[in-house]
Every structure is written in C-alpha cells, then in structure tokens.
Chains A and B, each alone.
Chain A
Amino acid sequence: MVIRIQTEDVDIGALITGAKKHGTGAVVVFDGIVRDDDITEMELEAYEDVAVAEMEKIAAEATRLHNLLHVDIIHRIGRLSVSENILIIVVSAGHRPEAYAGSRYIIEEIKKSVPIWKKELTKEGGRWVPGEHGHGAGKPRT
C-alpha cells in the first residue's frame, strides 16, 4: 500500500502491477487530472502530515467496507499544468463491484476530509477552488 503526497508524477503502470495481489479479479484506477477550465496552471497545497494520516484512515476503512486486496493513494501538490495527474487511486479486489465501490468511496471521502487545497491560475490572476463540503461549525458561505 502506498499512501503519499508528492510533487512528482506517478508511474500508474507500476502501481497496477503492484496491486495484483493473490485473489485479484479486478483493478480500478481513478486518475484525477487538471481540467482545462480556461486556466494556465493549478497550484495545490496540503497540510501534509494530517492529509497523509487522513488518507491512511480512508484506505483502511475502504479496505474494511469493500474487501479490497490493495490500495494506493497518491495525491500530488505543487504547480501542475492542464492534463497532468493530480490524484491517483489504485484499488484491487476479487470482483469488480468491490473494486468500483472501494475506489468511489475513497475519492468521495478524500473530497470531504483531506486537508488539500487547489488554486486555479489564470491569465488574470488566481482563484481558490471552493470546497464541496463545509467542515467548520456550519456550511461555507458563498
């Protein structure tokens, strides 16, 4: 299992090979990439220690809930260009329903609770991407 925050890109092929544990019938790869929303680049930052610990908890819970055989979560930070990889999730399971469900669980939980932020850089300046989930005492204001 690899749970990591890093600036470098990811060798997805090597992760898939590593995910093929005994009993594997399906590997699901989620690859979140920088979308061309009229931006020049995207800048990501993380509260790294807490983010890694939170992703480890999510991986353990996904494994328990969905009988996964293997989980890798690698989230990149730093400055990324359009079409670059941001987040790679590789899971394996005995059958596809568990693999799909486990992968989906992990990405949705990451969006809820892992302290990472994105700033879209444009020709005019930059804008922080608003979180989808409020985590203070109430909902975020718009």
Chain B
Amino acid sequence: MSVKVRFFARFRELLGTDIMTEPGAGTTLTALVSGIAQKNREGYDAIFDEHGSFREFVILMRNGKRVETTEAGKTAVADGDEIAVFPPVAGG
C-alpha cells in the first residue's frame, strides 16, 4: 500500500515532506512516522521522547482529521492515507 507523510514547519526542515511510503499491512501511525524520522537524529528527537513516544505537543492528522498521539500506536494506516505531523500552530 501507499501512504503519504507530510511534515510541517520545523519538522519539515529536519525531515522533508510529501514522503511517499509503502508500509506493510498493520503498520501503525507511530511505527510509520518513527521509521521515517530515524533518518535524522535531530528530527527524531524533535518528535519523539527518549521512550519512543510522541512528544506531548506533537499534532498528528490522518486524512485531515486529528488522531491523538496516545492512540497512534494502536492505529494502523491504510492504503491512500495522508498523514500529517506538525508542532503547535502559530497563525494569525
């Protein structure tokens, strides 16, 4: 299956964006994002804590809808998903 991962703001600077992945069946949101983030230590540390959990301020979206980071380890991605990962918003 094919899943797109988009990082924004500081996370984008560290990890890039619009990353096309082909995860296996049952891959969770946490595993998918963690696998990509590990390509850059600073990027990984910006998003995950020392236990491999999402830092508490990180925002996750799946197809434009919020997913609580505490649920991401139990949420499997599906073919065609767009996953977004970003820090707290600062518009206006």
Residues on A lying within 8 angstroms of B by beta carbon are 32, 44-47, 49-51, 53, 75, 86-87, 107, 110-119, 128-141
Contact = CB atoms under 8 A, between A and B. Distances in A.
B86 A115 contact: yes
Interface in B19-62: 54-61
Size category, B interface: 20 to 34
B88 interface: yes
Interface of B: 6, 8-10, 12, 54-61, 64, 66, 68-70, 84, 86-92
Given A53-B64, A117-B86, A128-B10, A139 B91 contact: no
Contacts of A139: 56-57
Given A135-B59, A137-B56, A47 B88 contact: no
A86 B56 CA distance: 29
A50 B89 contact: no
